[in-house]
Amino acid sequence: MRDAYVVGAGQSDFGSFPEESYRSLFATAYEEAVESVDGEFHPDAVDEAVLGTLGVGGRQIGLSGPAVTEHVGLHGVPTTRVENACAASGYAVRQAVQAVKSGMADLVLAGGYEVMTDASGDATRYWLGVSGETEWERLSGTTFAGVYAQMASAHVAEYGTDPDALSEVAVKNHSHGAMNPHAHLGFECTLEDARDAPVVADPLTLYHCCPTTDGAAAVLVASEDVASELSTDPVRVAGVGAASDAVGLFQRDTYAGVPASAMAAERAYDRAGIDADEAGAVTDALDFAEVHDCFAIAELMAYADLGFCAPEDAGAFVADGRSDHGGDVVVNSSGGLKSKGHPIGATGAGQVVEAYKQLRGEAGDRQVADAERGVTHNVGGSGGAAVVHVLERASEVSAR
Amino acid sequence: MSDDAAPETVEASVGSNGIRAVGAYAPRNRLPASEVEAAWGSVQASGVGEKAVPGADEDALTMAHEAATNALHADGTDASSIGLLAFASTTPPVEEEDVAVRLGSTLGVPETARHESFGGSTRAGTRALATGLDADLGDGELALVVASDCPKGEPAGERDQAAGAGAVAFLVVDDGPASALARGTFVRPSPGTRFRERGSERVDGLGVTSYDRATFTETLAGAVDDLDSGTGDEGAGDGGLDVDAAAVQAPDGAMPYRATGALGVDAEAIQRVATVHDLGDTGAASALLGLARALDDPDVGPVLVAGYGSGAGADAFVVDTTDAVPAALVLERDDERTLSYAEYLRLRDEIVPEPPEGGGAYVSVPSWRRTLPQRHRLVAGRCSECGSLAFPPEGACGDCGSLTAYEDVQLPGTGRIEAATTISQGGAPPEFAQQQQRDGDFDVVVVAFDAPTGDATVSAPAQVTDVDGGSVDVGDDVVATVRRIYTQEGVTRYGFKVRPAGRR
């Protein structure tokens, strides 16, 4: 099977833009992606488009994919909407990679969009809730914050995790997001800010929860031939892995981790030829990771599910700076969902946008030193779906 | 009708059945009279020191479930042998629809059993008991008689200040140890003493004091005078009734004592088993809760049960026991929550806004009905391939993955918490926002429910009830009960919740 490359990637600002529409936000992301292409990009060259959105608020749910591709002038391009809740556009990128690797397409637009902040808090909670298990879990009275808080309780009970580690995640990701001009909540916070914030669902405080965000992201995935024409510094998709699991937490093998994430990572690492070291960690092979930190506990669980450390060491992993610049692997250099924001359908593609910038040395103040290889990790719901991409600098890799 | 038949009496016969076990329940929320006084400046209701108030997820159906479960527990049996379910309430959660059927479903009463609902006045309770005592029960067949009520009134007035909450349940068999030695009944047309207009939740009355009192005492007296119509010589003679206690309808804490002369009993006999002073007016359950207290007290012999309902009508029974009657009464509770008047208004839904816009997680009523065995009775499934448990029992087996049939396994309802959190203000899903505004933060957990036998467990999400938010942790033992889950499209969905083990 042939390789797939990312030859362009861009995003809108993530934030609260109630006067924007899903179309206008996507147009901004598409334009930034097109501008990031080194060579001359022709829209006619796009063979296919795969776009992710949940449709929060009940706006254009049917045919929202064609609605945005036609809007940006990609007339006639076959477009499919992908829905896997918060993992929608991570899966859209994966579909694009599949299309290219299979030989069916040479250039595919992948991305996502979501408008969330123009609805009332109650309406938003309804729409977030419909991606949880609705018949049993939701009707026990939980929101997503509640389900992730339950996972936190299980993590504390099983591994003795210090709840302060949740606040450490918030502090780190806000410090990263403060350096990201696209971030929704681009400000720093202290450990006390995070710890003492109002409790949303014990032990999660407001600072342990990502915001609801408007935004869009777009990624251009190309075959090797097209990549060599369009890009002087392409990013190779070294591995993709994805997995599903029970949508309800109560039907999973563990509550203190996300089994779908671990399965997806194992598959992606296998494709990318990444082996764990003697200690079982893959951090030697990675420089950075964009992980799905919708709630702070999700990042702690991702450390173990993605092979950065043992689950019982997750709290120390962040507290000791091992997931920060200068540590084992820089986690969420973009600010993550916590600080950059979480426009549901755009999040997974947005992670690839960050990886693209990091690997091309275009991440500005938040640039990860000598970034050669990174991973993106996108989760749907509380773990019903997960997708992991391993991305690397094509020139560095071929020189190895 | 012949002219010589007295129009005011109805012939009653003493059924041969007897009570074998009794259960009772009152909510943990209590409003002391001092809070009423602080709010209104004085207390209109006499003799109600404290009253029970249903939680936001409780109503007459869930309290009936609790009382019935307690009775079954006291008896050590399950609902599978029940041939008659008689449910009495003046405050069923819906004005039209047979609530007894859903109550039966939560208990596991066979669908072939007689399901009878009684309402219309507070006499519904004693009418239900009469039906149970009269039922033609086969060998080993049980009648379950449940009375449950939670009246409301105008908050400024005596009726609401007295209005309490409680439920009582009796298991009746043809040879039960507590049987009626005599029965009497009496009606007298007397409108306006206590009524609730169509569409209203609030009990009203004209407040014509002398008329109200005369109607109450004379109707009860008529039923007691009629006692000898059953076995001949049990009626109140000049020397009064030979009973140790009198379980008398108590619309407030003073009214029953006004009937001592009419009933032929003394005040002490009434006070001995009265619940009105602690629970308030429990409507259709009022007199029967007194009977439950009497049956639970080994020192109480014969007891007069005097049920009354406006309209007016009354039933009288003299009940005596030949053997101890197992009882599980959850009335005084060590987990009682004392309410402020503001909390009372919240719980009563007087000051809570309408449910938020945005809708809920839509589960249609027909698809909800499909899951009633799980919602009401925790029916799990055992995989026919690998033998592991599944909840809900559908789809591929979570353990072996085979898409197979499941054998029904009713879980006993005990379990341990595997994951827990507290949903704080503003964090509840829209369909639970109103419950939280009324009752405060609540815990939601994943529970590993025990199998009937063996060490296997099966997990399910559940809300924790009967405790304040933040009361439970991973590892805690819990027990399932049935509560209101939420209401959508006007249809209240009932399902299992859990509470800490040993809290009842």
**Is residue A65 domain-shared with residue A181, that is, in the same domain?**
no
Residue A259 touches chain B, beta carbons under 8 Å: no
Q: Which residues of A are the active-site residues?
A: 86, 342
Give the one of B358, B444, B475 whose C-beta lies nearest to A142's C-beta.
B444
Helix (H, G, I), strand (E, B) or coil at B141: coil
Taking CB atoms and an 8 Å limit, are B446 and A249 in contact across chains?
yes
Percent of chain B residues past pLDDT 70, beyond the cut: 93
CA triple A8-A14-A15, angle to 5 deg: 165
**Is residue A194 domain-shared with residue A222, that is, in the same domain?**
no
Find which of A139, A159, A199, A202 to mutate to test the B interface (most B CBs within 10 Å of its CB). Answer: A139
The CATH code of the domain that includes A262 is 3.40.47.10
Residue of A nearest to B398 (CA): A251
Q: Which of A199, A230, A261 is the last residue of a domain?
A: A230
pLDDT in tens, B441-455: 999 999 999 999 988
What is the per-residue pLDDT for A356? 98
Residue A250 touches chain B, beta carbons under 8 Å: yes
Q: Which two tokens stand for residue B437?
A: 């505004």
**Is residue A206 domain-shared with residue A221, that is, in the same domain?**
no
Structural domains in chain A (count):
2
Find which of A250, A252, A297, A301 to mutate to test the B interface (most B CBs within 10 Å of its CB). Answer: A250
- pLDDT score of B2 more than 70: no
For the residues B219-238, what does the mean pLDDT come to? 70
What is the per-residue pLDDT for B48? 96
For the segment(s) B18-347, the CATH number from 3.40.640.10, 1.10.3720.10, 3.40.47.10, 3.50.50.60 is 3.40.47.10
pLDDT in tens, B96-120: 999 999 999 999 999 999 999 999 9
Structural domain that includes position A282: 140-210+239-340+351-394
Question: Nearest Cα to B494, choosing from B170, B99, B119?
Answer: B99
Distance CA B405, CA B397 (A): 9
CA dihedral B342, B344, B349, B354 (to 10 degrees): 30
Helix (H, G, I), strand (E, B) or coil at B347: helix
Find which of B400, B421, B498 to mutate to test the A interface (most A CBs within 10 Å of its CB). Answer: B421
What is the per-residue pLDDT for B504? 52
- Per DSSP (E only), the strands in B342-391 are 379-383, 389-390
A 10 A CB-CB count for B175 gives: 11
Whether the model pTM is above 0.90 = yes
Distance CA A50, CA A66 (A): 10
Distance CA A373, CA A356 (A): 10
**Is residue A216 domain-shared with residue A206, that is, in the same domain?**
no
**Is residue A216 domain-shared with residue A154, that is, in the same domain?**
no
pLDDT in tens, B118-139: 999 999 999 999 999 999 998 8
What is the per-residue pLDDT for A124? 77
**Is residue A274 domain-shared with residue A219, that is, in the same domain?**
no
Taking CB atoms and an 8 Å limit, are B422 and A143 in contact across chains?
no
Residues B422, B425, B431, B435: is their CA dihedral positive or negative?
positive
**Is residue A147 domain-shared with residue A266, that is, in the same domain?**
yes
- Give the β-pairing of A330-331 and A385-393: unpaired
Find chain B residues with C-beta within 8 A of A122's C-beta.
356-358, 430, 433
pLDDT in tens, B134-161: 999 988 999 999 999 999 999 999 999 9
Is residue A271 a part of any domain in this protein?
A: yes
pLDDT in tens, B22-47: 999 999 999 999 999 999 999 999 99
User: ipTM of the predicted structure?
Assistant: 0.91
Taking CB atoms and an 8 Å limit, are B461 and A145 in contact across chains?
no
CA triple A161-A137-A312, angle to 5 deg: 15
**Is residue A87 domain-shared with residue A206, that is, in the same domain?**
no
On the 0-12 / 13-18 / 19+ scale of CB atoms within 10 A, B279 is buried
Residue type at B414 in one-letter notation: T
What is the per-residue pLDDT for B489? 86
Taking CB atoms and an 8 Å limit, are A150 and B421 in contact across chains?
yes
Q: Answer yes or no: are the C-beta atoms of A288 and A135 closer than 8 Å.
A: no
**Is residue A45 domain-shared with residue A154, that is, in the same domain?**
no
Strand partners, B9: B186
Distance CA A360, CA A37 (A): 12
Q: Answer yes or no: are the C-beta atoms of B247 and B293 closer than 8 Å.
A: yes
Question: Nearest Cα to B387, choosing from B400, B373, B374, B370?
Answer: B400
User: Could you state, in order of their start, the residue ranges of all structural domains in chain B?
Assistant: 18-347, 365-500
Is residue A82 a part of any domain in this protein?
A: yes
Is residue A277 a part of any domain in this protein?
A: yes
Q: Looking at per-residue confidence, does B121 or B3 come out higher?
A: B121
- Per DSSP (E only), the strands in B431-500 are 442-450, 457-463, 477-488, 491-500
On the 0-12 / 13-18 / 19+ scale of CB atoms within 10 A, A365 is exposed
Residues A103, A105, A107, A113: is their CA dihedral positive or negative?
negative
Element counts in chain B: helices (H) and strands (E): 16, 21
**Is residue A374 domain-shared with residue A310, that is, in the same domain?**
yes
Is residue A135 a part of any domain in this protein?
A: no
Distance CA A197, CA A320 (A): 23
Is residue A199 a part of any domain in this protein?
A: yes
Quote the minimal CA–CA distance from A210 to chain B in Å.
Answer: 14
What is the per-residue pLDDT for B230? 46
**Is residue A54 domain-shared with residue A155, that is, in the same domain?**
no
Distance CA B212, CA B259 (A): 12
What is the per-residue pLDDT for A130? 75
Give the one of A136, A142, A203 whose C-beta lies nearest to B423's C-beta.
A142
Taking CB atoms and an 8 Å limit, are B429 and A145 in contact across chains?
no
**Is residue A265 domain-shared with residue A329, that is, in the same domain?**
yes
Per-residue confidence band for B234, with pLDDT thresholds at 50, 70 and 90: very low
Element counts in chain A: helices (H) and strands (E): 14, 12
Residue type at A286 in one-letter notation: L
Residues of chain A with confidence (pLDDT) below 70 = 396-400
Find chain B residues with C-beta within 8 A of A152's C-beta.
421
- pLDDT score of B325 more than 70: yes
Find chain B residues with C-beta within 8 A of A245's C-beta.
none
What is the per-residue pLDDT for B358? 60
